[in-house]
């Protein structure tokens, strides 16, 4: 679609249109999620790409990440789902290279449940669920932490975040292959220093300079591997820029009991909560 002339224009225009706040224009742009590396094919069978249905390439149709938390339920971010229509969506489960149609399982979305508090305007409750047309059998869903615990949220501990989001904050770039980066968890006090709207009851923060999630990673998982089991502790939600010093990534905290309990404030949310036994 983009002509080579247009690409050349973008390429030459880029240095001058770089954000003026960045002090050293000559610093090599990070070419990695931000600061990460490609993930092995098949490493995350429960990982989800949410896509608009249509004729374009999977790379163009991808808009957010997600995770399989039950055979027929995908967890994602509310801001990914709030303007979507179920009939126009599909998901790939367990695909690593978006363009490789042989990888993973494709499902349609039959129902979208946006967290009722997010729907009412509280952006801290950035959680949504997609019901799939058919269960994905033979794939173990990712594990969620025990509700109302913070054992996996110790500040300084390392977590991982994966996604097909932007790898370059100067000249947006979307990778075809899933990428991941290890990010340190922060204390609530530290997060609050950067984000006034941060809500420690339902959020958790992670990341440092040049290690972060970015646009297109939203809805995807922040997780830890403990004794061979993978626990999803967060959902990619927001951040001020990507990978900038003093602006960590903010995640909806999946161990928060409040996040799940308040899901029941809408009838669909209540049904989903019962279905998930959460
Ligand atoms: N809201 C972004 C998205 O829709 C994700 C932002 C994450 N930003 C960050 N710095 N961690 O993809």
How confident is the model over 223-238, as pLDDT tens digits? 999 999 999 999 999 9
pLDDT for position 6: 35
Which ligand 1 atom sits nearest the alpha carbon of residue 249? 11
Question: Residue 166 in 3-state DSSP?
Answer: coil
- Any idea how long the chain is? 278
Q: Enumerate the CATH 2.40.10.10 domain ranges in the chain, comma separated.
A: 44-141+258-276, 158-256
Q: What is the Å distance from ligand 1's center to 137 Cα?
A: 30
Residue nearest to atom 11 of ligand 1 (CA): 249
pLDDT for position 182: 98
Which tokens is 46 given? Answer: 């429960």
Which tokens is 228 given? Answer: 């061979």
Q: Which of the residues are catalytic?
A: 79, 126, 218
Confidence of residue 171 (pLDDT cuts 50, 70, 90): confident
Residue nearest to atom 2 of ligand 1 (CA): 215
Where does 158-256 sit in CATH, by number?
2.40.10.10
pLDDT for position 14: 31
Percentages helix, strand, coil for the chain, rounded to the nearest 5? 20, 30, 50
pTM over 0.95: no
Given a contact cutoff of 8 angstroms between Cβ atoms, the answer to whether 248 and 239 are in contact is: yes
The residues, ordered by sequence, that sit 6+ positions from 30 with a Cβ below 8 Å of its Cβ are: 167, 168, 169, 210, 243
Q: Check if 212 has its Cβ closer than 6 Å to any atom of ligand 1.
A: yes
Q: Which residues on adjacent β-strands are paired with residue 15? A: none
Measured from the Cβ of residue 19, the count of other Cβ atoms closer than 10 Å reads: 10
**Residue 53 above 90 pLDDT?**
yes
Residue nearest to atom 1 of ligand 1 (CA): 238
Q: Check if 249 has its Cβ closer than 6 Å to any atom of ligand 1.
A: yes
Measured from the Cβ of residue 229, the count of other Cβ atoms closer than 10 Å reads: 10
Q: What angle do CA 103, 61, 90 make, to 5 degrees?
A: 65
Topology adopted by domain 44-141+258-276: Thrombin, subunit H (2.40.10)
- Summarize the confidence of residues 178-204 as an average pLDDT: 98
Which ligand 1 atom sits nearest the alpha carbon of residue 77? 4
- Summarize the confidence of residues 113-121 as an average pLDDT: 98
Given a contact cutoff of 8 angstroms between Cβ atoms, the answer to whether 271 and 277 are in contact is: no
């Amino acid at each position: 679609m983009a002509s080579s002339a247009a690409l050349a224009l973008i390429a030459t225009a880029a240095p001058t249109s770089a954000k003026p706040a960045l002090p050293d224009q000559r610093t090599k742009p990070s070419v990695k999620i931000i600061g990460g590396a490609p993930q092995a094919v098949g490493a995350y069978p429960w990982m989800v790409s949410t896509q608009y249905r249509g004729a374009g390439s999977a790379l163009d149709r991808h808009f957010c990440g997600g995770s399989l938390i039950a055979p027929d339920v995908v967890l994602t971010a509310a801001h990914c789902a709030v303007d979507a229509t179920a009939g126009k969506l599909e998901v790939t489960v367990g695909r690593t290279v978006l363009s490789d149609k042989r990888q993973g399982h494709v499902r349609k979305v039959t129902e979208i449940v946006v967290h009722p508090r997010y729907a009412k305007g509280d952006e801290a409750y950035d959680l949504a669920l997609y019901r799939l047309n058919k269960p994905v059998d033979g794939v173990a869903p990712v594990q969620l932490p025990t509700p109302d615990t913070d054992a996996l949220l110790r500040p300084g501990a390392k977590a991982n975040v994966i996604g097909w989001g932007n790898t370059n904050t100067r000249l947006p770039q979307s990778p075809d292959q899933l990428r991941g980066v290890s990010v340190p968890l922060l204390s609530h006090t530290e997060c609050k220093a950067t984000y006034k709207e941060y809500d420690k009851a339902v959020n958790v923060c992670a990341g440092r300079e040049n290690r972060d999630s970015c646009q297109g990673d939203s809805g995807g998982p922040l997780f830890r591997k403990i004794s061979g089991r993978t626990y999803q502790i967060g959902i990619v939600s927001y951040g001020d820029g990507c990978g900038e010093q003093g602006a960590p990534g903010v995640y909806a905290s999946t161990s928060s009991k409040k996040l799940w309990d308040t899901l029941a404030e809408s009838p669909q949310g209540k049904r989903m909560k019962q279905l998930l036994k959460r």
